C-alpha cells in the first residue's frame, strides 16, 4: 500500500498540469485513488502556480496536502521550489529545475537560490532546460523534471511511459518519443545523483 | 465501474448532461467558468442541441434559465459568487415564481479570495430566497447532487441553489457516472399560467406557498442522503461540518474515523432533528464552515446563551479565509505540522500583464496624458487590466464591481473631479457598463471612457466576448457623439498619436469614448495554434 503527496510548483505556462495529468493517469491505471487541486484564473498571467497532487491505494480525504506532510516538491523553477517548503515532510524530497524563470524585477541572486536548495537534506537539482534540449526540445523541461522525480513516485517506470503515450497520443510519434527521451534523461540524472 | 477524473466543475456539468439538461446559461467567472465550457466542448451537448453559449451577464443568464424552466425544460445557470449579486433580483424572485422544469443555480464561492474582490458566502442568498441549498463535499457528491437537485426542483417546483467553493471547483477526483442518461423534458407549460406573474395579488399567494414549503424542505433535509449523522463515542464535543471542510476533518484522523459524533451537512435548510440530536447528546458543538459562520450564528442566537457553540465567531477557527487540514488540526486540539520555513530571499511572483499585451500600451499612453494633472482620476473595472493597479503601471485607482468604472467616474465628475476617466474592458462594458454610460450621456457628464477592446473575455481564459464587433454601434446608439468615439491602435509606434487623441478627449466637456483596439496576445496565440492544428 502506498501513498504519495506531491506539491507541483512552477510559473504559469511551464507545464505543471501536464505532469499532474501523467502521474494521475498512471495512478488511475493502477486502480489508485487520486485528488488533485490546482489553481486557475488570477494566478496565471506569469504568476506562481502550484498544484496539490495526492495518490494513494487508500481513499483520500483532503484535497489539500497538510503543511509538513508532502512526500515531495516537484518544481520546474528553483525559486518556486523554495516557496512551498512549509509543505515538505522531514523525510521529503525536493526535485527541481535549477534554471530560473526571471519575470520579476526583484528576482534574488540565483546562486543564493541554488544555495538554499543544495542546503536541503534531500534534493535533486538539475538543469532541465539543457537536458530537455539534448533530448530534443526545451519544451520538454517539465517532463525531464517528472523523470527526475520518477524514482520517488513508488510506481513502475513503464507506467509513466504508458501515461506519456496516452497523454500525448494525438501529438504524433515524434512528440511522444521526444517526451520519452526527456523522461529517461531526467530519471538517469536522479539515479546517478541519489 | 470506470471512474472519470473530473474537476468539481466538470462533474457538475457531466451530471447536468446525464440528467437531461436542455440549456446552460452563464457569464464566465473564476472558479465557475469550466462548468459551462465543459458543456460547450461536449459532443453530446451539440448533438442534442443543448444551449450553452455565453450570456451578457449573470442577470440575463438567470432570467434565460428561468424562461427555460418556465417552458418545462431542465436548465442550469452558473456564476461566481459576486455574479449572484448581479443576478440577485431574478434569483430572489424565482423562488417566488417557483420553477416548472428543473432549475439549478450554481454559485461558486471563493474563500481566501484567490481571484475575487470578496469572499461572500452564497448560502446567505439561498437562505434569503428561502430555497434549498446543496453543498457537495467531493466531486462524486457534486455529480450525484445535480441529479437529486433537478428531481427536487421539479417535485417541489422550486429553483435549487448549489454552492461550491474554489477548492471544490478546481480539484479533480474520480467520479462514477450513473449508467443511464435521462432524456430531456418535452416542452411543457406551467400548469398555472399565472404562476410567473408576480403582481402583488399573485405574489402574495406564491410567497405564502414558498413559506409553507419551508417545513417540507426541512423534512426533506432530514431524510437527505447528503446530511449524515456519523456517531462517535466521545460526546464531549459534537462536530457540524459543511461541504468540502468534511474532507479536512477526516484528514486529521487515522483511517478517517472521527471519535466524536459528526453531522455532515450537504443540504439546507438544516436538518432540524439531526442538529437537535447533536445538541442533546454533546456537551459542546464545533461548527466548521468553509465560508461565513452561518450555521454557527444560527445555533448561537443573538445572546449565545444555552448551547455551547464553537467555530469562527469565538476564534476556535479564523474568522476569514479558506480552511485547510492544519487549521482544523489546531481547532481540534491536535498537533499542527509544518515543514521548513520559506527562506527569506523568496519574493512574491504576482500575476502581471503578459508581455505584448495591448493594455500595457493603453496604460502608458493614458498615464502620460494625465501626468500634468493631479493623481487619482482613473476608475477601472474587473478584468486583466485590473493588473494595471500594480507596478510598474500603477495606472488605476479603483476596481469594485463589473461596470463600476463608468458610473464611479461619472459620480466623481458630478462631484467636480474633472476630467475623470473610466477604464473598462470590452466584455465588462457589455456586461454592466452600457447602462452607466447612458446615465453619463443623459447628464452630459465630462468623463472619458476608455473601452479596452482586446476582442475576448481574457481574464477567465479567452471566452467569446458578447461585445465583439458591436462597440461603436452600441456607443452611437446610446447617444455618444460620433466625433467623440475614437478608435486607437495601442502600439508603441503610435504612442504619441494616441496621447494626443486622449488629450483632446479629456479636454472635451462631455462624454467621450476611446476604444484602444488590439487583439489579446494570448487569444492570437490560441487562434494560430488552432489553425495550425486543423491543417
Does residue B35 have a cis peptide bond before it, meaning omega lies within 30 degrees of 0? no
Host domain of residue B366? 358-524
What is residue B403's DSSP assignment? Answer: T
Note whether B92 and B124 are same-domain residues. Answer: yes
Note whether B146 and B13 are same-domain residues. Answer: yes
Note whether B182 and B110 are same-domain residues. Answer: yes
How many domains, in total, are found in chain B? 3
- How confident is the model over B175-184, as pLDDT tens digits? 999 999 999 9
Separation between Cα atoms, residue B299 and residue B279, nearest integer Å: 10
Domain for residue B32, yes or no?
A: yes
Of A28, A87, A90, the CB nearest to B3: A28
Predicted pLDDT at B532 = 78
- How confident is the model over B483-520, as pLDDT tens digits? 999 999 999 999 999 999 999 999 999 999 999 999 99
Domain for residue B531, yes or no?
A: no
Note whether B238 and B134 are same-domain residues. Answer: no
- How confident is the model over A78-123, as pLDDT tens digits? 999 999 999 999 999 999 999 999 989 999 999 999 999 999 999 9
Separation between Cα atoms, residue A3 and residue B98, nearest integer Å: 48
Of A28, A39, A47, the CB nearest to B174: A28
Residue with cell 424565482: B94
Q: Are strands B485-488 and B512-516 parallel, antiparallel or unpaired?
A: parallel
Domains in chain A (CATH in brackets) are: 3-193 (3.40.920.10)
For residue B534, name the pLDDT band (cuts at 50, 70, 90).
low
Q: How many Å lie between the alpha carbon of B87 and the closest alpha carbon of chain A?
A: 22
Predicted pLDDT at B157 = 97
Predicted pLDDT at A44 = 65
| Radius of gyration in angstroms for the set of CA atoms belonging to chain B, rounded to a whole number | 25
Q: Are strands B378-379 and B420-425 parallel, antiparallel or unpaired?
A: parallel
Q: What is the mean pLDDT of residues A164-191?
A: 96
Domain for residue B346, yes or no?
A: no
Domain for residue B350, yes or no?
A: no
Of B31, B324, B336, the CB nearest to A41: B31
**CB contacts < 8 A (A, B):** 154
Q: Are B115 and A41 a contacting pair at CB < 8 A?
A: yes
Q: Are B325 and A59 a contacting pair at CB < 8 A?
A: no
Q: Write b or e for each residue in B376-391: b if 16 or more Cβ atoms lie within 10 A of its Cβ, otherwise e.
A: ebbbbbbbbbbbbeee
Note whether B458 and B498 are same-domain residues. Answer: yes
Domain boundary at B155, B189, B223, which? B223
Q: Please answer whether residues B461 and B35 qualify as being in contact, where contact means their C-beta atoms are separated by less than 8 angstroms.
A: no
Q: Please answer whether residues B385 and B425 qualify as being in contact, where contact means their C-beta atoms are separated by less than 8 angstroms.
A: yes
Domain for residue B502, yes or no?
A: yes
Those residues whose C-beta lies under 8 Å from the C-beta of residue B271, and which sit 6 or more positions away, are B218, B221, B222, B224, B227, B263, B265
Separation between Cα atoms, residue B3 and residue B180, nearest integer Å: 15
Domain boundary at B168, B199, B223, which? B223
Note whether B459 and B482 are same-domain residues. Answer: yes
Predicted pLDDT at A194 = 82
- How confident is the model over A112-154, as pLDDT tens digits? 999 999 999 999 999 999 999 999 999 999 999 999 999 999 9
Q: Three cell numbers at A177?
A: 518519443
Of A45, A64, A70, the CB nearest to B324: A64
What is the CB neighbour count within 10 angstroms for residue B155?
A: 11
Q: What is the mean pLDDT of residues A15-22?
A: 92
A48, A36, A60: which is closest to A107 by C-alpha?
A: A48
Q: How many Å lie between the alpha carbon of A120 and the closest alpha carbon of chain B?
A: 10
A54 — contact with chain B (CB < 8 Å)? no
Any bridge partners for residue A93, and if so which?
A72
Q: Are strands B21-26 and B160-165 parallel, antiparallel or unpaired?
A: unpaired
Overall pTM surpassing 0.90 (yes/no): yes
- How confident is the model over B98-132, as pLDDT tens digits? 999 999 999 999 999 999 999 999 999 999 999 99
Note whether B191 and B283 are same-domain residues. Answer: no
Q: How many Å lie between the alpha carbon of B380 and the closest alpha carbon of chain A?
A: 17
Domain of residue B251, CATH code? 3.40.50.920
For residue B378, name the pLDDT band (cuts at 50, 70, 90).
very high
Q: Are A108 and B173 a contacting pair at CB < 8 A?
A: no
Lay out the sheet containing B133-134: strands in order across.
B21-26, B74-80, B103-109, B160-165, B133-134, B267-268
A62 — contact with chain B (CB < 8 Å)? yes
Domain for residue B338, yes or no?
A: no
Predicted pLDDT at B268 = 98
Q: How far is CA B62 from CA B55, B58, B86, B104, B156, in A?
A: 9, 6, 10, 10, 19
Determine phi and psi for B458, rounding to 5 degrees.
-75, -45
Q: Is the pLDDT of residue B359 over 90?
A: yes
Separation between Cα atoms, residue B343 and residue A5, nearest integer Å: 22
Note whether B290 and B406 are same-domain residues. Answer: no
Lowest mean pLDDT among A16-20, A65-69, B488-492: A16-20
What is the CB neighbour count within 10 angstroms for residue B254?
A: 5
Query: Which chain B residues are Cβ-neighbours of A11 within 8 angstroms?
Result: 349
Domain of residue B206, CATH code? 3.40.50.970
A172 — contact with chain B (CB < 8 Å)? no
DSSP string, B290-346: SSS-HHHHHHHTTT--SS-EESTTTTSS-SSS---HHHHHHHTTPPP---PPPPTT-
Note whether B218 and B233 are same-domain residues. Answer: no
Of B3, B343, B351, the CB nearest to A46: B351
What is residue B270's DSSP assignment? Answer: -
A65, A32, A68, A60: which is closest to A155 by C-alpha?
A: A32
Residues, chain B: 535
Predicted pLDDT at B350 = 87
A144, A136, A51: which is closest to A97 by C-alpha?
A: A144
- How confident is the model over B33-53, as pLDDT tens digits? 999 999 999 999 999 999 999
Q: Please answer whether residues B236 and B283 qualify as being in contact, where contact means their C-beta atoms are separated by less than 8 angstroms.
A: yes
Taking phi first (over 0 means left), then psi (-120 to 50 degrees means alpha), and beta for anything else, what does residue B368 get? alpha
Those residues whose C-beta lies under 8 Å from the C-beta of residue B381, and which sit 6 or more positions away, are B399, B402, B403, B404, B405, B422, B423, B424, B425, B428, B433
Q: Please answer whether residues A67 and A2 qualify as being in contact, where contact means their C-beta atoms are separated by less than 8 angstroms.
A: no
Q: Is the pLDDT of residue B472 over 70?
A: yes
Long-range contacts of residues A86-93, Cβ cutoff 8 Å, at least 24 apart:
A86/B338, A86/B339, A86/B340, A86/B341, A86/B342, A87/A7, A87/B339, A88/A7, A88/B339, A88/B340, A89/B337, A89/B339, A90/B339, A91/A122, A92/A122, A92/B339, A93/A122, A93/A123, A93/A124, A93/A149, A93/A152
Predicted pLDDT at A41 = 60
Q: Three cell numbers at A100?
A: 530560473
Q: Is the pLDDT of residue B436 over 60?
A: yes
Separation between Cα atoms, residue B167 and residue B7, nearest integer Å: 10
Q: Please answer whether residues B246 and B264 qualify as being in contact, where contact means their C-beta atoms are separated by less than 8 angstroms.
A: yes
Give the distance, in angstroms, between the CA of residue B126 and the centroid of all CA atoms in the same chain: 14
Domain boundary at B223, B239, B256, which? B223
A154 CB-contact burial (10 Å; exposed 0-12 / middle 13-18 / buried 19+): middle
B405, B14, B406: which is closest to B182 by C-alpha?
A: B14
What is the CB neighbour count within 10 angstroms for residue B460?
A: 24
Query: Which chain A residues are Cβ-neighbours of B168 within 8 angstroms?
Result: 63
Q: What is the ipTM of this complex?
A: 0.94
Q: Three cell numbers at B521?
A: 496576445
Separation between Cα atoms, residue A73 and residue A80, nearest integer Å: 10
Q: What is the mean pLDDT of chain B?
A: 96
The helix, strand and coil proportions of chain A, stated in percent and rounded to the nearest 5, come to 45, 20, 30
Separation between Cα atoms, residue A72 and residue A14, nearest integer Å: 18
Q: Please answer whether residues B73 and B187 qualify as being in contact, where contact means their C-beta atoms are separated by less than 8 angstroms.
A: yes
Q: What is the mean pLDDT of residues B280-304?
A: 96
Predicted pLDDT at B535 = 53
Domain for residue B336, yes or no?
A: no
Separation between Cα atoms, residue B96 and residue B387, nearest integer Å: 40
Q: Are A59 and B337 a contacting pair at CB < 8 A?
A: no
Note whether B92 and B166 are same-domain residues. Answer: yes
What is the CB neighbour count within 10 angstroms for residue B22?
A: 22
Note whether B140 and B238 are same-domain residues. Answer: no
- Residues 101-140 on A with a CB inside 8 Å of B are 103-109, 112-113, 116, 120
Q: How many Å lie between the alpha carbon of B2 and the closest alpha carbon of chain A?
A: 10
For residue A42, name the pLDDT band (cuts at 50, 70, 90).
low
Q: Please answer whether residues B99 and B93 qualify as being in contact, where contact means their C-beta atoms are separated by less than 8 angstroms.
A: no
Note whether B408 and B485 are same-domain residues. Answer: yes
Domain for residue B203, yes or no?
A: yes
Amino acid at each position: 500500500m502506498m501513498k504519495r503527496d506531491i506539491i507541483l510548483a512552477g510559473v504559469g505556462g511551464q507545464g505543471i498540469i501536464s505532469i499532474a495529468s501523467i502521474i494521475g493517469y498512471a495512478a488511475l491505471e493502477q486502480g489508485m485513488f487520486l485528488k488533485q487541486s490546482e489553481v486557475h484564473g488570477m494566478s496565471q498571467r506569469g504568476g506562481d502556480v502550484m498544484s496539490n497532487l495526492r495518490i494513494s491505494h487508500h481513499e483520500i480525504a483532503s484535497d489539500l496536502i497538510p503543511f509538513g506532510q508532502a512526500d515531495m516538491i516537484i518544481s520546474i523553477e528553483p525559486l518556486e521550489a523554495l516557496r512551498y517548503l512549509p509543505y515538505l515532510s522531514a523525510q521529503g524530497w525536493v526535485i527541481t529545475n535549477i534554471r530560473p524563470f526571471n519575470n520579476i524585477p526583484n528576482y534574488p541572486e540565483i546562486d543564493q537560490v541554488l544555495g538554499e536548495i543544495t542546503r536541503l537534506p534531500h534534493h535533486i537539482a538539475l538543469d532541465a532546460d539543457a537536458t530537455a534540449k539534448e533530448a530534443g526540445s526545451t519544451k520538454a523541461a517539465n517532463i525531464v523534471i517528472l523523470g527526475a522525480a520518477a524514482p520517488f513516485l513508488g510506481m513502475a517506470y513503464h507506467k509513466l511511459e504508458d501515461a506519456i503515450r496516452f497523454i500525448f497520443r494525438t501529438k504524433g510519434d515524434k512528440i511522444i518519443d521526444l517526451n520519452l527521451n526527456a523522461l529517461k534523461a531526467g530519471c538517469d540524472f536522479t539515479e546517478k545523483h541519489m | 465501474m470506470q471512474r472519470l477524473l473530473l474537476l468539481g466543475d466538470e462533474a457538475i456539468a457531466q451530471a447536468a448532461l446525464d440528467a437531461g439538461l436542455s440549456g446552460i446559461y452563464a457569464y464566465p467567472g473564476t472558479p465557475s467558468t469550466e462548468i459551462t465550457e465543459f458543456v460547450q466542448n461536449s459532443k453530446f451537448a451539440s448533438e442534442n442541441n443543448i444551449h450553452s453559449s455565453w450570456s451578457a451577464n449573470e442577470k440575463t443568464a438567470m432570467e434565460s434559465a428561468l424562461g427555460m424552466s418556465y417552458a418545462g425544460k431542465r436548465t442550469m445557470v452558473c456564476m461566481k459568487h459576486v455574479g449572484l449579486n448581479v443576478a440577485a433580483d431574478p434569483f430572489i424572485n424565482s423562488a417566488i415564481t417557483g420553477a416548472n422544469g428543473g432549475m439549478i443555480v450554481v454559485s461558486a464561492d471563493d474563500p481566501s479570495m484567490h481571484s475575487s474582490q470578496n469572499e461572500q458566502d452564497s448560502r446567505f442568498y439561498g437562505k434569503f430566497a428561502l430555497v434549498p441549498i446543496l453543498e457537495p463535499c467531493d466531486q462524486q457528491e457534486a455529480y450525484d447532487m445535480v441529479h437529486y437537485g433537478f428531481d427536487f426542483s421539479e417535485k417541489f417546483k422550486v429553483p435549487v441553489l448549489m454552492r461550491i467553493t474554489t477548492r471544490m471547483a478546481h480539484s479533480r477526483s474520480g467520479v462514477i457516472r450513473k449508467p443511464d442518461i435521462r432524456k430531456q423534458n418535452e416542452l411543457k407549460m406551467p400548469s398555472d399560467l399565472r404562476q410567473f406573474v408576480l403582481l402583488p395579488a399573485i405574489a402574495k399567494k406564491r410567497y405564502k406557498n414558498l413559506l409553507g414549503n419551508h417545513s417540507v424542505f426541512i423534512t426533506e433535509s432530514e431524510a437527505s442522503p447528503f446530511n449524515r449523522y456519523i456517531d462517535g463515542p466521545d460526546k464531549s464535543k459534537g462536530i457540524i461540518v459543511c461541504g468540502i471542510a468534511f474532507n479536512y476533518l477526516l484528514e486529521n484522523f487515522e483511517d478517517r474515523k472521527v471519535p466524536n459524533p459528526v453531522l455532515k451537512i450537504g443540504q439546507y435548510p438544516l436538518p432540524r432533528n439531526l442538529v437537535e440530536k447533536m445538541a442533546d447528546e454533546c456537551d459542546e458543538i464545533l461548527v466548521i464552515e468553509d465560508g461565513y459562520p452561518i450555521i454557527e450564528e444560527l445555533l448561537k442566537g443573538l445572546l449565545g446563551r444555552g448551547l455551547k457553540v464553537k467555530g469562527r465567531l469565538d476564534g476556535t477557527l479564523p474568522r476569514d479565509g479558506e480552511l485547510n487540514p492544519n487549521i482544523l488540526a489546531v481547532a481540534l486540539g491536535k498537533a499542527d505540522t509544518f515543514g521548513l520555513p520559506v527562506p527569506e530571499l523568496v519574493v512574491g511572483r504576482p500575476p502581471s500583464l503578459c508581455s505584448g499585451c495591448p493594455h500595457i500600451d493603453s496604460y502608458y499612453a493614458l498615464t502620460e496624458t494625465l501626468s500634468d494633472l493631479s493623481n487619482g482620476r482613473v476608475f477601472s473595472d474587473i478584468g486583466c487590466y485590473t493588473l494595471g493597479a500594480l507596478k510598474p503601471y500603477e495606472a488605476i485607482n479603483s476596481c469594485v464591481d463589473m461596470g463600476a468604472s463608468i458610473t464611479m467616474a461619472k459620480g466623481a465628475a458630478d462631484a467636480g473631479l474633472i476630467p475623470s476617466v473610466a477604464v473598462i474592458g470590452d466584455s465588462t462594458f457589455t456586461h454592466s457598463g452600457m447602462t452607466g454610460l447612458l446615465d453619463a450621456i443623459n447628464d452630459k457628464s465630462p468623463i472619458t471612457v476608455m473601452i479596452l477592446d482586446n476582442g475576448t473575455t481574457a481574464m477567465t481564459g479567452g471566452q467569446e466576448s458578447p461585445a465583439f464587433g458591436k462597440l461603436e454601434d452600441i456607443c452611437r446608439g446610446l447617444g455618444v457623439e460620433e466625433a467623440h468615439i475614437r478608435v486607437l491602435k495601442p502600439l508603441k509606434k503610435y504612442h504619441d498619436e494616441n496621447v494626443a487623441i486622449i488629450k483632446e478627449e479629456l479636454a472635451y466637456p462631455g462624454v467621450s469614448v476611446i476604444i484602444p483596439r488590439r487583439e489579446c496576445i494570448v487569444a492570437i496565440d490560441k487562434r494560430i495554434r488552432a489553425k495550425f492544428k486543423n491543417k
